[in-house]
Structure formats: structure tokens, C-alpha cells
């Protein structure tokens, strides 16, 4: 199992879920994937299907119509997987706090269906690509229990 | 039947599953590293493909409720077994060209299609509409590239009057490379263009089309099954370069200084595929069909006519 964990740390495939943010964090996530930042150095790869993913990159507060989709996508990901909340809205709702059309941050929505889920928070509006890469790397280290 | 043990060992270790898997993954690293350098990136570390496969083997395997489970789970195994078997045949013939049987070229043709057929079976069993579209594209693509590919290899068989791989190697080692003839040069060009389609590499990756069909045929796969499919793709890349070097470039002798020359042959072929992959956008399926059944088949037939006339 140790070998598997080591391999997982070096080969995180991410799936990008936009839960109705303002698109700013989404653009920063795409910036991460450009040759300038070259996330393939860490084995990070953007995949098109949640079935191939190890990490869900969730950006934005969860709007009412997105709640069902986010739950479904989380169930589709093979475990073990991590959820990374990108941006201040996904961490703590940001300006959308107490708004009538949102269901709460992604961690609350996902914890409702899977209390065991692991979360990593990357604050910022939007977070810089360096911060996103660092967040993912720390998330992977947390699998070993190095970072709490 | 007394040497069954020998064949089982060759199939499992060298030059079967283990050897092909390791070298295939090294080739995938070469692919990703060269692609990265072409895009002015640093690229992945050497063990990256190994990490990917080990990770996929450890993940959860999800079988969709609406899928046909037998086909969904059996298809990756069949593709994997097919590519391992073709590698075993090719390497046994390459190491000892006298250990050949009549018509093993035809057997190799059939086994090389097996991974594509398996992936079509798996894609259609998964019950996902995107996979179904991908599988139908893969099917059309097979119909497209197989014709020029087979004709181009048959040019060599016709030129050397043999259908066995061992004789192809022996005659080329005795009388010089067959690529010296103009007909074989044309056939080699056709085979070089058909090979990326056989491997599902861009510009012929419309069956997987990650930006359009979300990986198409392999969309619903996860865990061990996905790992096997990725491993099969990596192995096919290596096996096809070996096949082309045996047929067109006179085999891969491994003794002494020949080892370096053989390594250069397979790596050069691989880099040609990588360059084609990185410099061409994806074709539409109908364009690809027209391309293969039009110019490519005509060129292959032209090469055949030239070979018949003795050029």
C-alpha cells in the first residue's frame, strides 16, 4: 500500500469542477496548465473524465442548481480522492455569503454525502497559479500525514 | 509439447509482458519528454509513467450500473494479452530468425488489431454515449488505415517473396536492406502515416479526443482496468516501432555494436511519431477516412505496382 501511496503522490490527475464561480479561478487553473508553469513536472495532468481523477479542483460557491451535479461527480470519482477548494468563494463563500441562491461551500455539500472526505483550501481571489500548485503538492503530502 | 514451460516463461517475462511493459513505459517517458521539450517545458521525471500505472492499479475500480459487465471487464485484458503476445512473437523471431513459422506476418497483423477491437468492445459495453461515439470512430478508423497499412507491408513481402518474419529478417541481413528500393520507400512512408492512426496518436486521436469526447472509448474506465489500457497503449507504441523496424529496416540485432544501431532505429521511428503527433491538429473522422482511402491507398497500390515492375 505504501508503494501505491507514493505513486499517488507523484501522479495526481485533476478534474476541474466549476460550481458557478465568477470564472476567475477557472482561468487561473487553466494558467497552471500552460507550459510556463509546467505542472507535468509533478505528474499533474488534467483529465476529461471524473473516473480518471484523483483530485477534484472545485472553484466557486455551490449554487442550488450545481449541488446535485457536484454530488454526482464526487460519487463518480474512484477513491481515494482529494477535494481541493480553489479560491475564497470555495473556501468560505466570499461575497456570496448568505446569498439566497447558494447552498454553501463545496466542503459542506460533499461532507453531507461523505463525512470521510479530505479537503484542501487554497484562498485568494483568485489564487495565483503558484499558490494552486503549492496547494496541490501540500495536499499530496498530507496523505503521508506530514502536513495536518 | 515439452517446451511449454519455455513459452510460458517467454510470454510472462522476456520478451513478453514484463519486458514489453517496462520498455513501453520508458518509451512513453521518451514521448512525454520530447513533447515537453518541443513546447519549451521541462517535462516529467523518468519514472512518471511507472507512477501513473502503479497508482491506477491501486485505485478503486468502478463498474457502471448500466454497463455490460463481462465485456467491460474482459476487453482491457484481451487487448493487453494481444499486445503482449505480438511482442513475444516479434522478439522471438528477432532474436532467432530461424524460429519462424509460415505466415507469422499474417498472425502479427491480426494480433496488432486486437487492442483496437478490444477497446471498441469495452467502449460500447460501458453504456456511455461518448464512449459509443468514440467506439464508432475507432471502428471507422480501423477500416480506413488497415487497407493502406496492409498493402504497404505486403509490398515488402512481395519484394522478398515470403510471408514469414524470420525470412524477411534473414533475406535483408544477407542481401542488404529492402528499403533501398523506391517501391519500398513509398510503402514505408505510407506505413509511417498509418502507424499513428493504429496507435490512436494525434492527428488521428479522434476516438479518444480528450477535448471533445472526454477520452471517448476509455471514459468510464477507472482503476486497474484503466491502468491496463494505459499500459496496453504504451506497449503498442513500442511494439509497432519494433514491427516496422523488422519489416522495413532489417530487424534489430542485439550483438555488440549492432545494439546501438538497433536502439537508434526504434528511437528514430518513435521520435518521428512524436513529431507528427506534436505538429498536427486532430483531423475529423471523415477527413481521415478520405485521406486513408484516397491518397494513402493510391500511394500504397502505386508502390505495389512499382514492386511488381521490379523497382
Please list, in sequence order, all residues whose beta carbon lies within 8 angstroms of the beta carbon of residue B193, skipping any fewer than 6 positions away: B148, B276, B296
- Contact flag A48-B40 (C-beta cutoff 8 Å): no
> What is the reported pTM?
0.86
d(CA B13, CA B88): 9
d(CA A1, CA B39): 35
- Taken in order A29, A31, A37, A42, is the CA torsion positive or negative? positive
Q: For the domain that residue A80 is a member of, what is the CATH number? A: 3.40.50.12280
Give domain status of residue A110, yes or no. Answer: yes
- A80 contacts in chain B (CB < 8 Å): 59-60
Please list, in sequence order, all residues whose beta carbon lies within 8 angstroms of the beta carbon of residue B96, skipping any fewer than 6 positions away: B166
How many residues in total does chain A contain?
148
Q: What pLDDT is attached to residue A113?
A: 84
Q: Residue A49: which of B58, B214, B223 has the nearest Cβ? A: B214
- Domain residues for the domain of B24 are 4-309
Grid cell 514492386 — which residue?
B307
- A10 contacts in chain B (CB < 8 Å): 45, 47-48, 51, 55
- B221 contacts in chain A (CB < 8 Å): 51-52
Helices (H), chain A: 2-10, 24-32, 64-76, 88-92, 106-113, 129-142
Residue of chain B nearest A33, judged by CA positions:
B41
- Contact flag A52-B58 (C-beta cutoff 8 Å): no
A28 and chain B in contact, CB less than 8 A = no
The tally of domains found in chain A comes to: 1
ipTM above 0.95, yes or no: no
Q: What pLDDT is attached to residue A148?
A: 44
Select from B35, B16, B113, B15 the least CA-distant residue to B270. Answer: B35
- Contact flag B48-A49 (C-beta cutoff 8 Å): no
Three-state SS string over chain B comes to CCCHHHHHHHHHCCCCHHHHHHHHHHHHHHHHHHHHHHCCCCCCCCCHHHHHHHHHHHCCCCCCCCCCHHHHHHHHHHHHHHHHHHHHHHHHHHHCCCCCCCCHHHHHHHHHHHHHHHHHHHHHHCCCHHHHHHHHHHHHHHHHHHHHHHHHHHHHHHHHCCCCHHHHHHHHHHHCCHHHCHHHHHHHHHHHHHHHHHHCCCCCCCCCCCCCCCCHHHCCCCHHHHHHHHHHHHHHHHHHHHHHHHHHHCCCCCCCCHHHHHHHHHHHHHHHHHHHHHHCCCCCHHHHHHHHHHHHHHHHHHHHHHHHHCC
Please list, in sequence order, all residues whose beta carbon lies within 8 angstroms of the beta carbon of residue B183, skipping any fewer than 6 positions away: B155, B159, B303, B304, B306, B307, B311
Give domain status of residue A147, yes or no. Answer: no
Residue of chain A nearest B226, judged by CA positions:
A52
- Domain residues for the domain of A49 are 2-142
- Contact flag B215-A47 (C-beta cutoff 8 Å): yes
Residue of chain A nearest B215, judged by CA positions:
A48
Chain centre distance of CA A15: 8
A8 and chain B in contact, CB less than 8 A = yes
Please list, in sequence order, all residues whose beta carbon lies within 8 angstroms of the beta carbon of residue A68, skipping any fewer than 6 positions away: none
Residues B79 and B232: beta-carbon distance below 8 Å? yes
Pairing of strands A55-59, A45-46: unpaired
Residue of chain B nearest A8, judged by CA positions:
B55
Longest dimension (CA), chain B: 59
CA-based nearest distance B280→chain A, Å: 18
- Taken in order B218, B223, B228, B230, is the CA torsion positive or negative? positive
Give domain status of residue A48, yes or no. Answer: yes
Q: What pLDDT is attached to residue A147?
A: 47
- A7 contacts in chain B (CB < 8 Å): 50-52, 54-55, 58
Give domain status of residue A57, yes or no. Answer: yes
User: Could you tell me what percentage of chain A is helix, strand and coil, using 3-state DSSP and rounding each to the nearest 5?
Assistant: 45, 15, 35
Question: What are the C-alpha distances in Å from B34 to residues A72, B21, B165, B274?
Answer: 38, 20, 31, 7
Give domain status of residue A148, yes or no. Answer: no
Identify the segments of chain B with pLDDT beneath 70: 1-2
The tally of domains found in chain B comes to: 1
- Taken in order B113, B119, B120, B125, is the CA torsion positive or negative? positive
End-to-end Cα distance, chain B? 44
* Block mean pLDDT (10 aa), chain A, length 148: 78 86 85 85 85 87 87 86 86 83 84 82 86 84 60
Amino acid at each position: 500500500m505504501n508503494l501505491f501511496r507514493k505513486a499517488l503522490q507523484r501522479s495526481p490527475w485533476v478534474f476541474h469542477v466549476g460550481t458557478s464561480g465568477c470564472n476567475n479561478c477557472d482561468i487561473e487553473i487553466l494558467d497552471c496548465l500552460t507550459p510556463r508553469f509546467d505542472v507535468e513536472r509533478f505528474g499533474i495532468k488534467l483529465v476529461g473524465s471524473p473516473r480518471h481523477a484523483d483530485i477534484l479542483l472545485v472553484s466557486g460557491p455551490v449554487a442550488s442548481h450545481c449541488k446535485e451535479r457536484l454530488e454526482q461527480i464526487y460519487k463518480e470519482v474512484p477513491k481515494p480522492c482529494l477535494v481541493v477548494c480553489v479560491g475564497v468563494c470555495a473556501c468560505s463563500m466570499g461575497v456570496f455569503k448568505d446569498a439566497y441562491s447558494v447552498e454553501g461551500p463545496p466542503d459542506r455539500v460533499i461532507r453531507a454525502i461523505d463525512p470521510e472526505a479530505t479537503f484542501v483550501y487554497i484562498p485568494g481571489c483568485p489564487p495565483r497559479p503558484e499558490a494552486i500548485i503549492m496547494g496541490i503538492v501540500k495536499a499530496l503530502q498530507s496523505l503521508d500525514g506530514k502536513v495536518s | 509439447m515439452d517446451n511449454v514451460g519455455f513459452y510460458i516463461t517467454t510470454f510472462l517475462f522476456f520478451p513478453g509482458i514484463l519486458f514489453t511493459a517496462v520498455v513501453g513505459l520508458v518509451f512513453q517517458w521518451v514521448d512525454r519528454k520530447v513533447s515537453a521539450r518541443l513546447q519549451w517545458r521541462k517535462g516529467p521525471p523518468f519514472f512518471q509513467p511507472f507512477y501513473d500505472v502503479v497508482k491506477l492499479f491501486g485505485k478503486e475500480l468502478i463498474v457502471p450500473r448500466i454497463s455490460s459487465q463481462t465485456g467491460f471487464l474482459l476487453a482491457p485484458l484481451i487487448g493487453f494479452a494481444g499486445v503482449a503476445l505480438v511482442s513475444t512473437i516479434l522478439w522471438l523471431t528477432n532474436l532467432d530468425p530461424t524460429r519462424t513459422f509460415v505466415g507469422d506476418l499474417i498472425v502479427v497483423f491480426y494480433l496488432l488489431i486486437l487492442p483496437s477491437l478490444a477497446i471498441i468492445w469495452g467502449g460500447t459495453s460501458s453504456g456511455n454515449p461518448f464512449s459509443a461515439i468514440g467506439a464508432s470512430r475507432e471502428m471507422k478508423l480501423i477500416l480506413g488505415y488497415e487497407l493502406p497499412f496492409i498493402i504497404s507491408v505486403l509490398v515488402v513481402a512481395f519484394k522478398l517473396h515470403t510471408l514469414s518474419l524470420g525470412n524477411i529478417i534473414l533475406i535483408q541481413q544477407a542481401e542488404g536492406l529492402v528499403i533501398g528500393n523506391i517501391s519500398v520507400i513509398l510503402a514505408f512512408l505510407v506505413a509511417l502515416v498509418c502507424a499513428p492512426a493504429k496507435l490512436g496518436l494525434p492527428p488521428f486521436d479522434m476516438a479518444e479526443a480528450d477535448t471533445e469526447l472526454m477520452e471517448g472509448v476509455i471514459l468510464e474506465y477507472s482503476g486497474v482496468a484503466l491502468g491496463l489500457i494505459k499500459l496496453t497503449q504504451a506497449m503498442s507504441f513500442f511494439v509497432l516501432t519494433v514491427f516496422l523496424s523488422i519489416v522495413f529496416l532489417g530487424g534489430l540485432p542485439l550483438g555488440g555494436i549492432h545494439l546501438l544501431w538497433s536502439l537508434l532505429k526504434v528511437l528514430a521511428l518513435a521520435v518521428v511519431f512524436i513529431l507528427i503527433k506534436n505538429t498536427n491538429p486532430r483531423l475529423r473522422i471523415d477527413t481521415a477516412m478520405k485521406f486513408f482511402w484516397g491518397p494513402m491507398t493510391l500511394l500504397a497500390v502505386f508502390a505495389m505496382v512499382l514492386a511488381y515492375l521490379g523497382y
